[in-house]
Every structure is written in structure tokens, then in C-alpha cells.
Amino acid sequence: MTVTSEERLLPEVERGAVRRITVVGEDVLRRRCRPLTQEHFGTPALDRLIDDMFATNHVAHGAAIAANQVDVDLQLFVYDMEDDWGVRHTGAIANPVLDEEPPARRRLIEGMEGCLSVPGPYKAVARADHTVVRGRDKDGAPLVVEGRGYFARCLQHETDHLHGRLYLDRLAQRERRDALREMAELRDGVLARRAAVAERLGK
């Protein structure tokens, strides 16, 4: 998911290094990621990965980023975004699982989505306007995150990533072709803007 506004830097962004963002067509984006195990939680390596993901997300003007988008095969994503009501949400969740809502209570809303791994285009995608994600925090403790509106969309989008799915997969064939064509036209400019932000931050 992507946003366009610059916001105050999180400590994780200040500490983190910027990593290369994988792009549609790379195999790591199409595999179900490995779950984090006890050997991962509470380690300096995981802390460093989370910091780097926040930094990479920030320079790309992202709302969130999944581990396979920085070429790491783990079920982890971080988010830093404002919802529809102006409330800022930040955090990291490992091994996320979406609650299944009964069809009678599930409300789908179409909204525009982009993706850091599909640089450039935005397309309308239908998502549930409310979601609950259950997983683990960086120390392995149980974590529950609830989202509505745009934040719910973000949580669903990132969980999709960890199952090897892109928002492109939710589009009709013609829209998918259009998105890839637009990406080819816009990609160089998007990558140049990311590099400029990284340089400005000294990363």
C-alpha cells in the first residue's frame, strides 16, 4: 500500500537502512512466506529487519510493507499510516491470520490500491471494510490488530503478500494488463523519487 504524505520520522526509520524493494515478477513475491519461529523472536536480527522495513517503507512513501518486499521470506509486515479518520497506526506483526467474518456481516468496499512492488499504478479493488488480524509481536507475544476502512484494506493487502498474492491478482485480466503497462511507463520515475528521499535522509 502507498501514501503520499511525509510524516515525522519514527525511531525505527531513523535507525533503519533502506533495502531494495522487490518488483512483480520476482519469485519471492509469489511464494507463501515461512512463519517466524521462537528462534526469530526477540533477536537483534529481527529488530534490525523491522527497522529496515520501516525505513524502506518511509522512503517509498508507503503505508505498509511486507518482508518479501525486501526479499526476506518471512511472515512479517510493518505499517505506518493514517486511517480515514486521521488516526495514525504504526506497528509490526508476525505470522498474521485474518479472522473470517460471516458473509452476512461482511461489507465490501471498492477503493484504490497501489503497491510498492508494482511501482506506479493504482487500481480499484474490493476489500472488507473491517478486519481483525491475529499474530505475534517482535518478542513473540500474541497480538491482535483491528482495522476499519483504509487501515482494514492495508492489513488485508499486506497479509495477501505473505501468502504470495498481489493486488493485481484481484483485478480482471484487462485491468491487470493495464496496470502492468502503466508500471512500465511510471517505474523509473517512482524509483528515482524513492532514491531522492533516501539520499535526503542520508540512507
Active site residues: 158
Question: What are the Cα distances from residue 145, in Å, to 8, 99, 105, 157?
Answer: 22, 10, 19, 14
| Kind plus residue range of the DSSP H or E element containing 13 | helix 11-15
Per-residue cell: 90: 504504526
For residue 80, the SS3 value is strand
Query: How are the residues of the chain apportioned to helix, strand and coil, as percentages rounded to the nearest 5?
Result: 40, 30, 35
- Contacts made by residues 175-184, CB under 8 angstroms, sequence distance 24+: 175/123, 178/121, 178/123, 179/118, 179/121, 179/123, 180/24, 180/118, 182/120, 182/121, 183/24, 183/118, 183/119, 183/120, 183/121
d(CA 15, CA 152) in angstroms, rounded, equals 28
Q: Are strands 64-66 and 142-148 parallel, antiparallel or unpaired?
A: unpaired
